[in-house]
Amino acid sequence: MSERACVREVGLRDGLQSIAEILPTEQKLAWLDAEYAAGVREIEVTSFVPPKLLPQLADAEAVVRHALSLPGLTVSTLIPNLKGAERGLALGVHEMNFVLSVSEGHNRSNVRRSTAESIEDFRRVVALCRTAPEGPRPRVACGLATAFGCTIEGAVDEERVRRIAVDVAEAGAGAIILADTVGYGQPAAVERVFRRVMADVAPLPVAGHFHDTRGLGLANVLAALNAGARSFDASLGGLGGCPYAPGATGNIVTEDLAFMLEAMGFETGIDLDRLIAVRELVHQALPDVVQHGAIAKAGLPKNFRLSRLAEAAE
């Protein structure tokens, strides 16, 4: 039996938050439905930021409500603070991701507090979620942004990443996401940091969030896979490029990630043809937004599906 690997779609959050043109709610829901129909079972559907700060995600409640109606879908949301956690809890989302930056400078510029203060905020989020009854209690993950480098501070100390990972694990994180927010990571460092952090916080799951800004996104996925990680964030068409660097790629491309995992023999549950077809739907809704990705351009290798079926039958 082949091993499972999880592809977590974050395009509706990480992708859309950097796009100024507001995608109407019904088109977000159509995108969500199409990825769900393609077999994607974990989607970060929005972020609970104040609508004034990010008008693109002002329809968070409506998107979450719809996502929760899809059976078997793990509905995940980003929460920037306690207020966001309250909104997520009220709606009954399955997973909330609190994000703090390993880099002090990045954290201060993002949320105007020190990383240590953000860890305290995370503690309060966990405490709040523990007031919910156990059954519907959401899993609270903690994303460590700039874990592999920072545009403000440059290199990030690996020992600091480990310390913060242990701190948030002790604070009650249900999972940790190591994020290469600005695409500075390289495979040797990624494998090393994943191995160490995973050993430090075991058995807590550690997921990867990579950006392809410098072309190393999938290489970094492979490095994290080698270290034992089995869950990865990605964005349809690689949406989520930096708004200040036109044409720069953002998140790794969901279709390419799913292809790589499937080709390596991991089971993702995703129908690649149907997933690739979702690009057209998003393209019609956002015609000016450049989509990235190799597999959609090149097509699947000849007999790709047949060889996968033969392997499954072995």
DSSP state of 18: G
Task: Tell which residue, 4, 18, 16, 26, has the closest CA to residue 46.
Answer: 16
Angle at 176 between CA 170 and CA 177, to 5 degrees: 155
Comparing CB distances to Zn ion, the nearer of 210 and 259 is 210
Comparing CB distances to Zn ion, the nearer of 88 and 208 is 208
Smallest gap from residue 73 Cβ to Zn ion (A): 21
Task: Tell which residue, 28, 31, 22, has the closest CA to residue 277.
Answer: 31
Smallest gap from residue 218 Cβ to Zn ion (A): 15
Binding mask 218-257 for Zn ion (x = CB under 5 A): ----------------------------------------
Six-digit token string for 250: 């953002």
Cβ(180)–Cβ(220) below 8 Å: yes
Contacts of 197 (CB under 8 A, 6+ apart): 161, 162, 165, 176, 178, 206
**150 an active-site residue?**
no
Six-digit token string for 118: 């953000």
Quick one: which segment of 14-22, 35-43, 267-275, 286-294 binds Zn ion (CB under 5 A)? 14-22
Smallest gap from residue 101 Cβ to Zn ion (A): 12
Strand partners, 299: none
Total Cβ atoms within 10 A of residue 74: 17
Smallest gap from residue 309 Cβ to Zn ion (A): 34
CA atoms of 74 and 237, how far apart (whole Å): 21
Quick one: which segment of 11-19, 45-53, 162-170, 220-228 binds Zn ion (CB under 5 A)? 11-19
Does 14 contact Zn ion by CB under 5 A?
yes
Show contacts with Zn ion in window 39-68 (CB under 5 A): none
Comparing CB distances to Zn ion, the nearer of 89 and 190 is 190
Tokens 């292809």 found at: 259
Tell me how many residues contact Zn ion (CB under 5 A).
1
| Closest residue to Zn ion in the complex (CB) | 14
Catalytic residue numbers, as ranges = 242
* Residues within the interface to Zn ion (CB under 5 A): 14
